[in-house]
C-alpha cells in the first residue's frame, strides 16, 4: 500500500468516525417522547434560563415560564393591568391596611393531580418570611411581611408590618406546591429546577436543553379549562434575522418579546409583505431618557463625581429639554414606532401616565436661548456660552451606548439643536458596562438611560427617592437612578404606596411625575413601541394586553398563550418525509459512486498489468 | 477570526542548533524542549485568562438585574452568592485551584456549573467543525492537487478564484445567504438549531434530524475554510513539479494521473501535516461565527452569548480551553514531525 492510499483511508476513517461519534453523542441523551399530532406553539427566544426557581428568577424568559407554570393570587387584567382574580377569588384589606384576607379558589389542582389549598399559599408566603436566601432576594417586599397563615382550606391571611396595598396586589408571588417543595433540602437552591415542574398554571416546563429549546406541556386539568395548544416550545435563535427567516418559513410561530433586542422597523416591514404573518407595532412599556448629572451625592450629602457645574442649574436643564424635538426623534429614529415621552410612566399605563397638561414643554429654540440669556450664560467669542461671570464654557460630555445605533442618531440631532443654544457637546460612544460604571461614579454630564416600566409604578418612582441614595462614593451602590432627592417627592411617594383608592393614588403618582418633569434631572425622550409578529395561519385567538396591545411580553398572567388556538395543520411532527427520501436518495448515490469508483480502479489495475 | 487564519507554516520546523547527539537522547531533548515550552504557554494562558476578562468593565450584578430596580441588600445577596464579595486574591486562587481540578465554577448567566455546560456542548461543536474540517481538508487537498498539477489551466484559475472569493466572504453574510436560499426560499433545510424539539427520541430519527440540521452549517463552514487547504496543497504540488523523480516516473511510462497520485502527492503531503494538526486544534474553537448564524448549540454560541452578557467565568474557562487545545495540537504536530521528517532528527 502506498502512502497516499494510506492517508486517504485514514481520512475516510476519521471522517466516518467523527460523523458517527458526533451523531451518537448528540443523539444518545434522547428527547422526550412526542406524539405525532401535537399542536405546538413555537416562540423564538435568545435569552438563557437563569433558574426556574420563581423566587430567584431575574430574566424575562424565566418570568414567562414562571407565569405559565405557576399562578399568583391576583392577576393583572388583559384590558388594563388592573388586579383581577387569579388563584384568589376575592380579597379584603383590613381598615388599618395591615391584614389581608384572600379566598382561595376551590377546585384548583396541581399538575400532578394534588389539590391546591390555602396551605400551599401559606407555605409559599412563609418561604418569603422564613427562608433567609429567598427573603434576601425579595427583601424589598419580604421585609414588610409579618405572618402568612391558612385559617382554613380556602382562606389565607397575610399580615403586614405597614400598609402596602399596591405591593400586595401587584407583587407576583408564584404559589408553589408544598407537597413537593417541602421535600427540598433547600427551596432557595437549584432543587426547584427539577423537571418536570409541578405547578397550577396552564403550561408546565417539562424539558429544557440549553440553547436549543424549552418545552412546556399543557395542563389538561387547568381549573379554567385546558389551553388550546398541547405544548409551548421556546426555540433558541442567536440572531434575530434567523428568527425572522424562520417565521417566514413557518418554523416558528411568534417572534417578539422573547428575543432580547427584538425586531427592528426594517424587519417588521419585511414581515408585513408576508401573507401568513401578522405584525404588531403597539405601545410598549419602555422609555428612553437622558440622565443629566445635576450633582451626585451620598445619603449624608457628600458630593462626588465631576459633573459640569452648569447642569446644577434647573434653567440650563430646562433649556436643554426645550431644545429637543421629541416628535422628530420618534419620526426619524423610531420610524414613527413610538411616541414622545413626558415623564416616567409610559402612556400604556393610562391610569398612571401624566400627559404634561399645561406644563408640557414645547420645542422652542428661541425660548430656550432666552432662558439661558436671562440666567446669565453669555456667549463667548466662539459662540459657546460660558458660566455666569465668565469662566468655564458650556461644553458637556455626552455618553451613549456603543451598541445602540438609535442613540447615535439621537446624539447627532441633539448636538445640532444644542449648538443653536451655544452649548457644545463632546459625544462619546461607550461600551455599556463602562458607561454604567461612569454613570454611578457621577463622572459624566449627560448620558443615555432606559427602563421597562412595570404595571406597579412604585419600583420606578422609588429609584428617585432619597432613601436609595448611595452611602459610598465608589459607585458600587446602584439603586438611585440619578441622585435625585426631594423631601416633597418622598412624601408623595410614601402616600401613594399606602393609598388603597386607585383614583387618589393616580393623582399622587402624577404629581410625582410632574415634579420630575419640571425639575428635569432626567429628560424623557420617547416611549418605544413593541414590535412583534406571528403566523396567523397557525395561531389565532391570542388575547392582547392591554386591550389592542401586545401578545408577547405580557404581565401578571399569560393571557395570549393561554387563549391561543391552533389553526391550520402543523407539519412539524418529527422528521418530514422529504428528508427520509433525500437520505435514501443520497445513500443510493453514494453506493453507486462507490461501485463506479471500484470498477474504475479495477480497470486501471487491469490496464497496468 | 479564528476560522480563517492560515496556520503559520513551519512553526514546528525550527531545528535545535546544538551539535549532533545520539538519536535517543536527541529525541529526549527535543521532547523536553517542546513539552516544557507548551507547559509554559499553558501556564501563561491560565494566568492571563483571569486578568484579561476582568478588564471588561461593568458590574456583573447590573446584567443580572437588568431592567429591574433592586435594593442595595438584594445586590449584596447576589454578590455573595456569586462569590464576588471575596477579595481578588482569593478569587484568583479559587480560579487556579478550580481550573486544575476541573471545577470551573458557575456561570453568571446560566447559573449552572461551567464544566457541565462545556461537556454538553462539546459534541455539537465537534460534530459541526469536525465534519466541516474533514470535508474542507479533503476538498482543499483534492482540488489543490489538481490545480497545482495543471497550473494555469481553466480548472486551476476557476477553482482558485472561487476558493478565494468564498475565503474572503464574511462567514456571517455567507451564512445568512445560505439560510435565505436553502431554508427560507427552497425550504429544504431548517433555519436553525441542531434538532427539532418534535423529533421522536429514537436513534435513527434523531440522527437523521441532526444530519438534516447539520447540512447548512457544514456547507457554510467548509465553503469558507477549504480555500486555505487548497492554496497550501497547490503550492506544495508546485514545489514538486520540476523534480527529477517525476521525470523518472514519466520515463518509466506511467500515465500522468499515476505520476501525480503515486509520486508527486505523497511528497507534497508532508509539509501539510502540521497544517492538519493545527486544524485539529482549532476544531474546538473553529466555528464560532457559523454556530452563531445557525444558532448551533455548541461552544462557539456559548462563547458569543458569554461575551454579550458578559459572563466572565465562562469566558475564562473557554479561553483556557480554546488556547490549550491549540497548544496541545501544535505540540502533537511537533512530536510527530520528529518521526516523519528525517531532517529534524539529523540536526
**DSSP states along A89-152:** EEEEE-TTS-EEEEEEPTT-B-TTSPBP-HHHHHHHHHHHHH-HHHHHHTHHHHTTEEEEEEEE
For every residue of A258-280, DSSP letters joined together read TSTT---HHHHHHHHT-TTEEEE
pLDDT at A306 over 50: yes
Asked if A251 contacts A37 with a C-beta cutoff of 8 angstroms, the reply is no
- Residue A406 predicted with pLDDT over 70: yes
Residues counted in chain B: 347
From chain B, pick out residues whose CB is under 8 angstroms from the CB of A233.
197-198
pLDDT at A29: 36
- The closest of A456, A437, A459, A549 to A502, measured between CA atoms, is A456
Of B65, B72, B305, the CB nearest to A48: B305
A212 and B192 in contact by Cβ < 8 A?
no
Pairing of strands A74-76, A213-218: unpaired
Question: Which residue of chain B has the CA closest to A431?
Answer: B57
Q: Tens digit of pLDDT for each residue in B272-292? A: 777 777 778 778 776 888 999
Decide if A575 and B199 are in contact by the 8 Å CB cutoff.
Answer: yes
Helices (H), A213-254: 240-248
| A218 strand-pairing partners | A203
Given A27, A243, A436, which is nearest B210 (Cβ)?
A27
Name chain B contacts of A48, Cβ cutoff 8 Å: 109-110, 305
Q: What is the mean pLDDT of residues B102-106?
A: 85
Chain B nearest-CA distance from A32, in A, is 6
Q: What is the DSSP string of A7-55?
A: HHHHHHHHHHHHHHHHHHHHHTT-PPP--TT--EEEEEE-PPP--S-TT
- Establish if A190 touches chain B: CB-CB under 8 angstroms: yes
Residue A36: per-residue pLDDT: 54
Report chain B residues whose CB lies below 8 A from the CB of A432: 58
**Average pLDDT of chain A?**
87
Of A60, A190, A248, the CB nearest to B184: A248
Subunit contact B127:A25, Cβ cutoff 8 A = yes
Q: Interhelix angle for B203-241 vs A577-608, to 10°?
A: 40
pLDDT bucket at B192, cuts 50 / 70 / 90: confident
Assess whether pLDDT exceeds 80 at residue A211: yes
Chain B nearest-CA residue for A573: B198
Report the Cα B35 to chain-centroid distance in Å.
21
- Does the structure show a pLDDT above 80 at B63? no
Element containing residue A214 per DSSP (H, E): strand A213-218
Grid coordinates 536527541 are at which residue? Answer: B26
CA distance linking residue A297 with residue A287, whole number of Å: 25
Lowest mean pLDDT segment, chosen from A6-20, A80-94, A406-420, A486-500? A6-20
Q: Which among B130, B206, B261 has the least Cβ separation from residue A22?
A: B130
Higher pLDDT pick, B118 / A581: B118
Tell me whether A15 touches chain B (CB under 8 Å).
yes
Rounded to whole angstroms, the Cα distance separating A479 from B311 reads 22
Determine, for residues B200 and A574 on separate chains, whether the beta-carbon distance falls below 8 Å: yes
Mutant choice from B132, B198, B260 vs A, greatest count of A C-beta within 10 A:
B198
Report how far residue A384's alpha carbon sits from residue A424's, in angstroms, rounded to the nearest whole number: 7
Of the residues A46, A49, A249, A474, the best mutation for testing chain B's interface (the one with the most B CB atoms within 10 Å of its CB) is A249
CA A306 to chain centre: 32
pLDDT in tens, A131-164: 988 888 888 899 999 999 999 999 999 999 999 9
Q: Hey, what long-range contacts does A451-455 have (CB within 8 A, 24 or more apart)? A: A451/A286, A451/A287, A451/B67, A451/B69, A452/A284, A452/A285, A452/A286, A452/B67, A453/A285, A453/A286, A453/A287, A453/A344, A453/A345, A453/A346, A453/A349, A454/A170, A454/A285, A454/A555, A455/A76, A455/A81, A455/A170, A455/A349, A455/A555, A455/A556
Rounded CA separation A423/A364 (Å): 15
Phi-psi region of A175 (alpha: psi -120 to 50; beta: other; left: phi over 0): beta
Which residues from chain A sit within 8 angstroms of residue B121, using beta carbons? 210-211
Q: Confirm if B46 and B327 have CB atoms less than 8 A apart.
A: no
List the single residue in B with minimal CA-CA distance to A458: B69
Q: Note whether A381 contacts B: Cβ–Cβ < 8 A.
A: no
Query: Containing H/E element for B47?
Result: helix B23-52
pTM for the full predicted model: 0.82
Contacts (Cβ under 8 Å, ≥6 apart) of B45: B319, B320, B323, B324, B327
Among A454, A436, A485, A232, which residue's Cα sits nearest to residue A352?
A: A454
Which has more confidence, B344 or A123?
A: A123
Interface contact B131-A22, CB threshold 8 A: yes
A141 interfaces chain B, CB cutoff of 8 Å:
no
Check CB contact under 8 Å for B295 and A137.
Answer: no
Q: Does A211 touch chain B (CB under 8 A)?
A: yes
User: What residues of A are in contact with residue B62 (Cβ under 8 Å)?
Assistant: 433, 436, 478
- Per-residue pLDDT of B218-240, as tens digits, reads 999 999 889 888 998 999 889 88
Mean pLDDT of B131-148: 91
Per-residue model confidence (pLDDT) at position A5: 53
Which residues 78-137 of chain A have a CB within 8 Å of chain B? 133, 136-137
pLDDT of residue A423: 95
Handedness of CA A380, A386, A391, A394 (dihedral sign): negative
**Bridge partner residues of A575 (DSSP):** none
The verdict on a CB contact (< 8 Å) between B197 and A235 is yes
Tell me if chain B has a CB within 8 Å of the CB of A210. yes
Question: Best interface-test mutation with A: which of B128, B192, B341 has the largest number of A CBs within 10 A?
Answer: B192
Contact state of B192 with A236 under an 8 Å Cβ cutoff? yes
The closest CB to that of B111, out of A32, A51, A479, belongs to A51
B222 phi and psi, to 5 degrees? -60, -45
Q: Is the preceding peptide bond at A546 cis, omega within 30 degrees of 0?
A: yes
**Least confident piece of the model among A52-61, A241-250, A512-521, B273-282:** B273-282
pLDDT in tens, A549-571: 999 989 999 999 999 999 875 44
Q: ipTM higher than 0.85? A: no
Looking up cell 454579550 gives B308
Dig out the grid coordinates for A75 from the structure: 392577576
d(CA A89, CA B89): 55
Give the list of residues 6+ apart from residue A579 with CB closer than 8 angstroms, or none.
B208, B209, B212
pLDDT, mean of residues B258-285: 80
Residue A30, chain B, CB below 8 Å: the answer is yes
Check CB contact under 8 Å for B56 and A433. yes
Distances in Å between the alpha carbon of B18 and those of A18, B14, B25, B34, B117? 41, 12, 13, 15, 47
Which pLDDT does position B344 carry in this prediction?
Answer: 72
Each residue's pLDDT tens digit, A463-500: 899 988 888 888 878 888 888 999 999 999 999 999 98
Cα A281 from Cα A393, distance rounded (Å): 43
Strands A338-340 and A395-401, sheet pairing: unpaired
Q: Does B191 contact A140 at a Cβ distance shorter than 8 Å?
A: no
Across residues B141-160, what is the average pLDDT? Answer: 91
Query: How many Å lie between the alpha carbon of B36 and the closest alpha carbon of chain A?
Result: 30
Amino acid at each position: 500500500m502506498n502512502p497516499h492510499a494510506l492517508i486517504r483511508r485514514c481520512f475516510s476513517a476519521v471522517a466516518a468516525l467523527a460523523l458517527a461519534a458526533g451523531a451518537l453523542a448528540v443523539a444518545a441523551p434522547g428527547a422526550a417522547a412526542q406524539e405525532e399530532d401535537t399542536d405546538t406553539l413555537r416562540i423564538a427566544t435568545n435569552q438563557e434560563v437563569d433558574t426556574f426557581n420563581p423566587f430567584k428568577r431575574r430574566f424575562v424568559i424565566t418570568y414567562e415560564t414562571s407565569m405559565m407554570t405557576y399562578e399568583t393570587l391576583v392577576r393583572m387584567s388583559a384590558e388594563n393591568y388592573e388586579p383581577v382574580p387569579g388563584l384568589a377569588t376575592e380579597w379584603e384589606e383590613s381598615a388599618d391596611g395591615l391584614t389581608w384576607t384572600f379566598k382561595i379558589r376551590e377546585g384548583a389542582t396541581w399538575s400532578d393531580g394534588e389539590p391546591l389549598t390555602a396551605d400551599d399559599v401559606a407555605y409559599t408566603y412563609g418561604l418569603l418570611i422564613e427562608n433567609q436566601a429567598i427573603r434576601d432576594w425579595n427583601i424589598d417586599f419580604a421585609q414588610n411581611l409579618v405572618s402568612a397563615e391558612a385559617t382554613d382550606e380556602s382562606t389565607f391571611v397575610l399580615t403586614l408590618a405597614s400598609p402596602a396595598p399596591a405591593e400586595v396586589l401587584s407583587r407576583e408571588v408564584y404559589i408553589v406546591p408544598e407537597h413537593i417543595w417541602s421535600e427540598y433540602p433547600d427551596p432557595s437552591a437549584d432543587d426547584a429546577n427539577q423537571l418536570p415542574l409541578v405547578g397550577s398554571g396552564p403550561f408546565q416546563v417539562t424539558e429544557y436543553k440549553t440553547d436549543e429549546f424549552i418545552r412546556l406541556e399543557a395542563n389538561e386539568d387547568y381549573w379554567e379549562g385546558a389551553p388550546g395548544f398541547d405544548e409551548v416550545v421556546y426555540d433558541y435563535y442567536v440572531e434575530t434575522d434567523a428568527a425572522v427567516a424562520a417565521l417566514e418559513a413557518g418554523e416558528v410561530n411568534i417572534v417578539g418579546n422573547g428575543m432580547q433586542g427584538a425586531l427592528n422597523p426594517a424587519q417588521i416591514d419585511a414581515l408585513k409583505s408576508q401573507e401568513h404573518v401578522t405584525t404588531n407595532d403597539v405601545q410598549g412599556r419602555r422609555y428612553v431618557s437622558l440622565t443629566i448629572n445635576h450633582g451626585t451625592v451620598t445619603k449624608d450629602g457628600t458630593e462626588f463625581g465631576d459633573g459640569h457645574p452648569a447642569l446644577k442649574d434647573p434653567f440650563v436643564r430646562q433649556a436643554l429639554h426645550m431644545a429637543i424635538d421629541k416628535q422628530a426623534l420618534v419620526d426619524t429614529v423610531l420610524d414613527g414606532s413610538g411616541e414622545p415621552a413626558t415623564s416616567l410612566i409610559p402612556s400604556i399605563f393610562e391610569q398612571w401616565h401624566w400627559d404634561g397638561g399645561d406644563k408640557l414643554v414645547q420645542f422652542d429654540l428661541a425660548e430656550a436661548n432666552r432662558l439661558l440669556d436671562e440666567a446669565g450664560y453669555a456667549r463667548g467669542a466662539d459662540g459657546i456660552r460660558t458660566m455666569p461671570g465668565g469662566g468655564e464654557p458650556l461644553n458637556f460630555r455626552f455618553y451613549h451606548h456603543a451598541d445602540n445605533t438609535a442613540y447615535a442618531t439621537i446624539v447627532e440631532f441633539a448636538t445640532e439643536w444644542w449648538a443653536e443654544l451655544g452649548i457644545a457637546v463632546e459625544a462619546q460612544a461607550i461600551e455599556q458596562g463602562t458607561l454604567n460604571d461612569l454613570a454611578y461614579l457621577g463622572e459624566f454630564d449627560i448620558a443615555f438611560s432606559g427602563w421597562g416600566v412595570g404595571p406597579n409604578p412604585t419600583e420606578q418612582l422609588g429609584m428617585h427617592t432619597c432613601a436609595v441614595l448611595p452611602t459610598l462614593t465608589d459607585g458600587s451602590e446602584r439603586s438611585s437612578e440619578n441622585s435625585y432627592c426631594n423631601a416633597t417627592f418622598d412624601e408623595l411617594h410614601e402616600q401613594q404606596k399606602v393609598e388603597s383608592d386607585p383614583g387618589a393614588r393616580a393623582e399622587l403618582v402624577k404629581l410625582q411625575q410632574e415634579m420630575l418633569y419640571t425639575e428635569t434631572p432626567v429628560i424623557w425622550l420617547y416611549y418605544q413601541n413593541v414590535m412583534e409578529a406571528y403566523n396567523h395561519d397557525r395561531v389565532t385567538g391570542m388575547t392582547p394586553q392591554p386591550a389592542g396591545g401586545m401578545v408577547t411580553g405580557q404581565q401578571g398572567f399569560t393571557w395570549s398563550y393561554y387563549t391561543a388556538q391552533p389553526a391550520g395543520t402543523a407539519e412539524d411532527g418529527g422528521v418530514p418525509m422529504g428528508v427520509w427520501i433525500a437520505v435514501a436518495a443520497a445513500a443510493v448515490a453514494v453506493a453507486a459512486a462507490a461501485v463506479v469508483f471500484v470498477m474504475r480502479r479495477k480497470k486501471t489495475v487491469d490496464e497496468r498489468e | 477570526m479564528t476560522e480563517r487564519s492560515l496556520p503559520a507554516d513551519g512553526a514546528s520546523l525550527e531545528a535545535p542548533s546544538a551539535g549532533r547527539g545520539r538519536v535517543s537522547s536527541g529525541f529526549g531533548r527535543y521532547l523536553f524542549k517542546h513539552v516544557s515550552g507548551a507547559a509554559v504557554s499553558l501556564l501563561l494562558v491560565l494566568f492571563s485568562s483571569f486578568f484579561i476578562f476582568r478588564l471588561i468593565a461593568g458590574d456583573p450584578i447590573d446584567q443580572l438585574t437588568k431592567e429591574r430596580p433592586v435594593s442595595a441588600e438584594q445586590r449584596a445577596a447576589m454578590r455573595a452568592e456569586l462569590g464576588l464579595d471575596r477579595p481578588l486574591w482569593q478569587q484568583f486562587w479559587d480560579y487556579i485551584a478550580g481550573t486544575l481540578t476541573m471545577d470551573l465554577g458557575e456561570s453568571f448567566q446560566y447559573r449552572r456549573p461551567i464544566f457541565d455546560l462545556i461537556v454538553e456542548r462539546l459534541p455539537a461543536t465537534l460534530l459541526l467543525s469536525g465534519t466541516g474540517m474533514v470535508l474542507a481538508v479533503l476538498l482543499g487537498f483534492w482540488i489543490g492537487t489538481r490545480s497545482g498539477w495543471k497550473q494555469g489551466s481553466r480548472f486551476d484559475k476557476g477553482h482558485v478564484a472561487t476558493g478565494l472569493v468564498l475565503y474572503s466572504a464574511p462567514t456571517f453574510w455567507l451564512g445568512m445567504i445560505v439560510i435565505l436560499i436553502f431554508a427560507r426560499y427552497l425550504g429544504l433545510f431548517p433555519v436553525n438549531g441542531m434538532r427539532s424539539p418534535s423529533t421522536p427520541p429514537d436513534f435513527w430519527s434523531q440522527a437523521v434530524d441532526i444530519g438534516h440540521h447539520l447540512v447548512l452549517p457544514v456547507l457554510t463552514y467548509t465553503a469558507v475554510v477549504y480555500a486555505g487547504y487548497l492554496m497550501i496543497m497547490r503550492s506544495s504540488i508546485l514545489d514538486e513539479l520540476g523534480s527529477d523523480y517525476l521525470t523518472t516516473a514519466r520515463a518509466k511510462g506511467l500515465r500522468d494521473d499515476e505520476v501525480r497520485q503515486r509520486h508527486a502527492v505523497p511528497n507534497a503531503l508532508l509539509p501539510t501535516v502540521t497544517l492538519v494538526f493545527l486544524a485539529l486544534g482549532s476544531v474546538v474553537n473553529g466555528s464560532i461565527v457559523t454556530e452563531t448564524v445557525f444558532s448551533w448549540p455548541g461552544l462557539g454560541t456559548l462563547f458569543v452569548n458569554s461575551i454579550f452578557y458578559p459572563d466572565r467565568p465562562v469566558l475564562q474557562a473557554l479561553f483556557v480551553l480554546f488556547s490549550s487545545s491549540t497548544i496541545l495540537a501544535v505540540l502533537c504536530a511537533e512530536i510527530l514531525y520528529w518521526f516523519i521528517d528525517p531532517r529534524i532528527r539529523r540536526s
